[in-house]
């Protein structure tokens, strides 16, 4: 019981660390470029805890679905309205569209109105605004790299092309694959590493192929009909022998570089398959929401691959945040580039309408993912 609670706590802290790192990327660039940072929050909505240090309020908010760094003057119209409101001793009517998620600013309109022009976001060059926006994603990539670097330093098992297990009743068992066999080729593909074995199997669902294995120094050709998973990919039913690797610093850096690249490739491949309908969005094999991520992370902590999973989640957060939708970072980059092309600011009304669409899609995605999480907890699906 204690270990289960500990694993959940560690999982929550780990995911919180990834969010903190993302927002810290925005924060340090804002400070470096002279933008005023009003708030730095983990979570959205009303503060559970907050403290003001200097000109910035730091806090933990009620809804633990991300975080934000609020800089002064994200939109010129909104800032001008706050200036008018301060002069007339009333609340500003116009608000940053994203305040629907973040809540009202914790800093008064009177104080914000006194912010010098050079410290307002909208007055900065486009390149500084873009750097501020992409800094969060960059931090997620950096964190993923260093997590994998530490995994490398601890030593790891590299899968080989030698068979360690054959599942009973699988396509491999029916074909006559034995423990100790080494894959030489599958179909027309040479299999000199485990990754190539995986790719050859995944891409040949339902096909009958020749498999060449090295068995005690002799090449043996077997015929196998590759099985079909629920997500449409192929399965053979074998597991590889792992070879322990204890790299030094340079080898660990290379390991982190290669694995980070592989995580990006896997994520993009998964997104592509999802859009093609080749993998499910709903159900037990569908998207994971906050509950599912914590559950998977706690299991990873108990099983000893927590850092690798955190790196994977960090890469996924980076990719998700660069989707060209407001209020995500990619949406802000897109609108900054549009403003650069137009030579003028996009109206706050346009920002509000586009943000409303993005927030609605985000909430829909959250509902689907949470439904999947609940379905997994109760051993089924809610049918979203």
Token digits for 137? 């994603």
Indicate the angle between helix axes 249-275 and 306-321, nearest 10 degrees.
Answer: 50
pLDDT digits (tens, 9 = 90+) for 100-134: 667 778 888 899 999 999 999 999 999 999 999 99
CATH classification (class only), 157-245: mainly beta
- The pLDDT, as a whole number, for residue 383 is 35
Contact between 292 and 372 (Cβ < 8 Å): yes
Q: How far apart are CA 30 and CA 302, in angstroms?
A: 38
pLDDT digits (tens, 9 = 90+) for 171-220: 999 999 999 999 999 998 899 898 889 988 988 888 999 999 999 999 99
Torsion of CA 148, 149, 151, 152, to 10 degrees: 120
Provide the whole-model pTM. Answer: 0.77
Question: How would residue 291 be classed by pLDDT, with cut points 50, 70 and 90?
Answer: low
Token digits for 229? 């998973």
With residue 159 as reference, give the H or E element that holds it. strand 156-166
The candidate with the shortest Cα–Cα distance to 10, out of 292, 289, 298, 288, is: 298
């Amino acid at each position: 019981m204690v270990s289960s609670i500990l694993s959940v706590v560690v999982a929550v802290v780990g995911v919180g660390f990834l969010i903190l790192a993302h927002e810290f990327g925005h924060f340090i660039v804002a400070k470096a470029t002279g933008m005023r940072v009003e708030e730095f929050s983990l979570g959205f909505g009303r503060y559970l805890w907050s403290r003001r240090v200097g000109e910035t309020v730091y806090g933990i908010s009620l809804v633990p679905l991300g975080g934000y760094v609020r800089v002064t003057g994200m939109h010129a119209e909104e800032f001008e309205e706050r200036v008018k409101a301060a002069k007339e001793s009333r609340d500003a009517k116009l608000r940053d569209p994203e305040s629907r998620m973040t809540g009202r600013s914790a800093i008064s309109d009177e104080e914000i109105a006194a912010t010098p022009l050079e410290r307002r976001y909208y007055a900065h060059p486009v390149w500084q605004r873009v750097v501020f926006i992409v800094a969060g994603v960059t931090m997620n990539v950096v964190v993923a790299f260093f997590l994998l670097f530490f995994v490398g330093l601890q030593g790891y098992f590299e899968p080989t092309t030698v068979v360690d297990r054959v599942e009973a009743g699988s396509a491999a068992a029916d074909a006559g694959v034995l423990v100790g066999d080494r894959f030489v080729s599958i179909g027309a593909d040479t299999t000199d590493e485990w990754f190539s074995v995986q790719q050859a199997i995944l891409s040949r669902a339902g096909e009958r192929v020749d498999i060449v294995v090295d068995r005690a120094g002799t090449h043996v050709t077997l015929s196998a009909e590759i099985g079909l998973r629920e997500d449409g990919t192929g399965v053979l039913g074998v597991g590889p022998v792992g070879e322990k690797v204890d790299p030094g610093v340079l080898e660990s850096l290379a390991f982190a570089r290669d694995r980070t690249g592989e995580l990006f490739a896997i994520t993009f491949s998964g997104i592509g398959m999802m859009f093609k309908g080749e993998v499910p969005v709903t159900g037990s094999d569908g998207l994971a929401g906050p509950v599912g991520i914590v559950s998977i992370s706690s299991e990873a902590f108990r099983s000893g691959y927590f850092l690798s999973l955190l790196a994977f989640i960090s890469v996924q957060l980076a990719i998700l945040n660069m989707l060209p939708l407001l209020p995500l970072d990619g949406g802000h980059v897109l609108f900054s580039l549009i403003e650069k092309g137009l030579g003028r600011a996009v109206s706050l009304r346009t920002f509000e309408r586009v943000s409303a669409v993005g927030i609605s899609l985000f909430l829909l995605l959250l509902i689907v993912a949470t439904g999947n999480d609940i379905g997994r907890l109760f051993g089924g699906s809610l049918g979203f």
